[in-house]
Amino acid sequence: MKKNNRETAFWISMMILLFIITVVLPILCVIYDKPLTAHAEDNPYGAPFKIESTAYCYGEITASGQAVREGIAAGRKEWIGLTAILYKDDNGKVGDFIGIYEILDTGGDERIKSGTCIDIYMPDYDDCREWGRKNVWVQLVDAVG
């Protein structure tokens, strides 16, 4: 029963964060006549940055000790516990929102360990192949998830 409560709390917090990012933040930007990136620049972790992304579907336990599941990603060891907000790359600019991922894994590839790539967990091999390798914009935040 505790696991279900934690999973429910996780998804509720993710939905609230998604609502804030996709609804509240743009409205506030219009009201205060600020560009959407102004919020990201005020973030203590810095503005969104461009990075390569890949996807993985293997493994059972993450570097953090938690089981793999949708909504997690692998990144630099120093990023474990942070949340990554991913956006599409729109010709070198931040594009459309992709999703929110908890950094709970580190991966084995040197690009992931060095922070030049983020690896998103997907449970299906075909989805990983479809994702391929692409550039995305990542905003790191210290969020509970």
The CATH number that applies at residue 67 is 2.40.40.10
Of 19-23, 57-61, 94-98, 136-140, the range with the lowest mean pLDDT is 19-23
Structure tokens, 24: 């509240």
pLDDT at residue 35 tops 50: no
How many CA atoms within 13 Å lie on the side-chain side of 3? 2
Quick one: average pLDDT of 108-124? 91
Strands (E), 20-106: 49-56, 72-74, 83-90, 93-105
What does the DSSP assignment read for 97-113?
A: EEEEEEEEE--SSHHHH
Question: CA separation (Å) from 115 to 48, 80, 145?
Answer: 14, 12, 21
How many whole angstroms separate alpha carbon 133 and alpha carbon 145? 26
More confident call, 66 vs 21: 66
Task: For residue 99, list its beta bridge partners.
Answer: 86
How many whole angstroms separate alpha carbon 75 and alpha carbon 86? 13
Number of compact structural domains in the chain: 1
Query: Predicted confidence band at 39 (pLDDT cuts at 50, 70, 90)?
Result: very low
Of 2-11, 49-58, 111-120, the range with the lowest mean pLDDT is 2-11
More confident call, 55 vs 2: 55
Boundaries of domain holding 112:
2-141
Question: CA separation (Å) from 29 to 6, 38, 104, 110?
Answer: 33, 8, 31, 38
Quick one: average pLDDT of 2-7? 71
pLDDT at residue 4 tops 80: no
Beta strands 49-56 and 93-105, pairing class: unpaired
